[in-house]
A and B are shown apart, each in its own frame.
Chain A
Amino acid sequence: MNQVLTPPAIQLSAVALDKTYRKGPEEVNVLRGVNLDVRRGEFLSIIGRSGSGKSTLLHLLGLLDSPDIGEIRLEGKRIDHLPAKTRDQLRNRVFGFVFQFYHLLPELTVLENVLSPLMIRYSSWEYWKRRKELQDKAQEMIQEVGLSHRLKHRPNQLSGGEMQRAAIARSLVSEPEILLADEPTGNLDVETGKGIIELLNRLNSERQLTIMMVTHDEAIAERAQRIVRLSKGQIENIRERAAG
């Protein structure tokens, strides 16, 4: 059915994912046999109501959680069963995360927040040796998201849009292959949200960055190339947006 050489190749896939959370006495079956292939360089959005399991799917794909049944495959290799250390490294190098509530570290400045994935990646000694280069890289990213004037500010001194930009810069600084965005506009007004989506679009087209975005906003979801609709833990449909 599939032609092996047909580009764009499958980069990340979810195979028959099942996930159940325990909430007090009852069990909630959040995902029920979800299969999804993500192509390299595509902008995919996952849409669904609250509780449809879209965030859980994103977390499973990004190795923040592990499925009860099923597999996560990166470039055809299973990654969800790897040892914790290796999964930590994959999270650090392959995936970039953007969250609804920005999740910047309040004690650190914008620059330090952006640098944090690199600090985590390198040992203190190596980081110290390469700090100039790494800082330049972080500043470049900050410039790209348009926050150069906010380098030394703390998150609580920024507006919501700025915080989300800083979070995006942080997710990009480690040069990930896949960006996972969980409701990146959910906490922003429409106008600012639009700006964020434009930024994501630009990154997608300029850097060939694979982006998976979870949203409940139809208008936002429409900006992606493919739209996956999730309902009650199952994929309702996958729709390709008309080119244009």
Chain B
Amino acid sequence: MYKTLLCQRYLRTRFIALASIISVMLGVATMIVVNSVMSGFSSQMRDRIHGLLADVVIESHSYDGVSDPDLQIRIAREVADDYIEAITPTVEVYGMLNFNFAGQWITKPVTLIGIEPEGKAKVGPLRSFLDSYNPVYEDNQIARQALRPDSEQPNWNLSKDAVEYRREKIDRQKWYEEQLAAMEQADTPLIDPAAATSKTDAPEEAMPNDPFADPFGDSKAAGKDSAPADPYALMDGRVYVGVGLVSYPYRDPETGKMKTMMMARPGDDVKISTVTAGRPPSHAAYQATIVDVFKSGMTEYDSNLVFCNLDELQEVRGMLSPATGKRAITSLHIKLKDYTQASDVVERLKSAFPPDQFVVKTWEQKQGPLLAAVEVESAILNVLLFLIIAVAGFGILAIFYMIVVEKTRDIGILKALGASSSGIMSIFLSYGLSLGVVGSGVGVVLGLLFVHYINEIEDVITWVTGRKVFDETIYYFPEIPTAVHPSMVISVALGAMLIAVLASVFPARRAARMHPVESLRRD
């Protein structure tokens, strides 16, 4: 009884004990906040990394690919049908994306992925990344509703808004052409006669968005859908482009807010160049209409990937077998029923797809270094944060040692009154435990509150310092992602309590071993 009473009194009357409670509390709170943010970050990261990747990908080493997708799918299904939920053929190849913005051509290196939208949507989330399926937010307000209903299957058609934009643009261009022609007629001597006479060819350079322009002459797009049929018709090539490829962030000079400038948008045409299949590969280029823009949140994807229609890509690249008429593919994207069995499936698929021709990988293996980096980062952070609590532990040790020295006489009194050494020891151990319990309790509450209001806190810090702490243009997150795992909170709290108790063992033992007479003599 005296142990509890004294322990409680020491807690209440020792200001210094408050210091150790605060140090435990801060340690626990920091650890909870950082862990929550880290795990929020990494789970979001994983989602995003996974986002556009299928669970398992079978890739051929060669850009030529392998013939007959149906056969390949059948082979895959044969060995692992029980595990496979969906499977879709794709062609992946490097290429260049060219488009005109503000009078200049912009060229970007990209990875072209030929897909069938319905099939791709089945092996992974596609709709949630496509701009037209999602509302646009500005300052937490919906600035634009979703352009397509969720029920609409992803396809290669323009949304209504994009169709209007395209019409308007083509009309404007026509008017501009006519104006130019009229000016030239009135003013012929000043202009190179060649420009005026070759009206159908020349505007290609001056007006690069002309849907009929064909700078390379080897695409069939311009020839087949000849102009009179439908001036607003789309190109045969259709693409979803990553938002990072066709936009750049800028700071609005008036409001100081970060905004995104779109350099090309759905309805615009782009030129895509890549290499043909066959040996040796040669250059191939075609025109395509941007159908949608995707934003996965992963810069690596958003500024590198272009999804295009599979059949057009196959045709342009000459991936058709002249003999059988069968098309070739370079990879299969597979979605599993249960991802936990992925390694099993990979093994089975490896047996069916020989390693000299194919690579079979899970998405985690494909993004191994990135995921490992995230893990290493959070492991290091945890070690560092654990050191914070260890520092708090040494603080407790020092403070306790002081308290024991200060309480030497009282310890002598208690011993004279018949208290046992273990009783004295347990006063200080329970003192340490209560510091740990109170400290980590308050720390847990503080940490969870901080996590809960982290975005508000970020706003305040931003307002005070005038510097954006969490810049969404860098991270692509509208707000700081957090994920609180109860097991993490519990283990942090228990760890802190354990450290508090461990730190009090040494002083408590010293107290217990004190000689009553010597303790009493100290005055």
Please list the residues of chain A having a beta carbon within 8 angstroms of any beta carbon in chain B.
59, 62, 64-65, 84-85, 88-93, 97, 99, 101, 103-108, 112, 116-117, 119-124, 127-128, 170, 174
Contacts and interface: CB of A to CB of B under 8 A. Distances in A.
B400 to A, nearest CB: 16
A103 B413 contact: yes
A85 B5 contact: no
A102 B230 CA distance: 109
A107 B416 contact: no
A120 B413 contact: no
A127 B1 CA distance: 7
B517 interface: yes
B420 A84 contact: yes
Specify the main secondary structure of chain A where it touches its partner.
helix
B1 A124 contact: yes
Interface string B15-52: 00000000000000000000000000000000000000
A88 B516 contact: no
A93 B419 CA distance: 11
Interface of B: 1-6, 9-10, 13, 409-410, 412-421, 423, 515-517, 520, 523
B1 A128 contact: yes
A106 B421 CA distance: 20
Given A89-B418, A120-B414, A108 B517 contact: no
Given A84-B421, A91-B416, A116-B417, A103 B5 contact: no
B516 A120 contact: no
19 contacts: A64-B415, A88-B418, A88-B419, A89-B418, A91-B417, A92-B417, A92-B419, A101-B523, A103-B416, A103-B520, A104-B413, A105-B413, A112-B5, A116-B2, A116-B417, A119-B1, A120-B414, A120-B417, A120-B418
A105 B406 CA distance: 12
Given A90-B418, A103-B412, A170-B417, 15 more contacts: A59-B517, A64-B517, A64-B520, A88-B415, A88-B420, A91-B417, A91-B418, A104-B413, A107-B6, A108-B5, A116-B2, A117-B417, A119-B5, A120-B1, A128-B1
A88 B420 CA distance: 6
Nearest to A171: B417
Q: Which of A64, A99, A127, A128 has the most CB of B within 10 A?
A: A64
Contacts of A121: 418
Contact of A85 (B409, B420, B515): B420
Contacts of A124: 1, 3-4
Nearest to A90: B418
Contact of B516 (A64, A106, A108, A122): A64
A122 B412 CA distance: 19
Contacts of A64: 415-416, 516-517, 520
Contact of A119 (B2, B420, B523): B2
B4 A120 contact: no
A120 B517 contact: no
Contacts of A93: 418
A27 B412 CA distance: 23
A64 B515 CA distance: 8
B419 A120 contact: yes
A120 B423 contact: yes
A61 B516 CA distance: 14
A104 B416 CA distance: 12
Contacts of A90: 418
Contacts of B410: 105-106
A109 to B, nearest CB: 10
A65 B516 contact: yes
A119 B516 CA distance: 19
Contacts of A97: 416-417
A127 B414 CA distance: 17
Nearest to A126: B1
Contacts of B1: 119-120, 122-124, 127-128
Nearest to A94: B418
Contact of B515 (A65, A107, A117, A119): A65
A108 B417 contact: no
A197 B420 CA distance: 31
A126 to B, nearest CB: 9
A97 B517 CA distance: 12
A102 B320 CA distance: 104
The 4 nearest A-B residue pairs measured at CB:
A92-B418, A107-B9, A119-B2, A119-B1
B420 A107 contact: no
Contacts of B423: 120
A93 B13 CA distance: 30
Q: Which of A65, A117, A120 has the most CB of B within 10 A?
A: A120
A65 B517 contact: yes
Contacts of B417: 91-92, 97, 116-117, 120, 170
B200 to A, nearest CB: 100
Contacts of A174: 418
A214 to B, nearest CB: 13
Contact of B2 (A99, A106, A120): A120
A38 B498 CA distance: 51
A62 B13 CA distance: 32
Contact of A117 (B418, B420, B523): B418
Contacts of B520: 64, 99, 103
B517 to A, nearest CB: 5
Nearest to A89: B418
Nearest to A62: B416
Contacts of B6: 105, 107-108
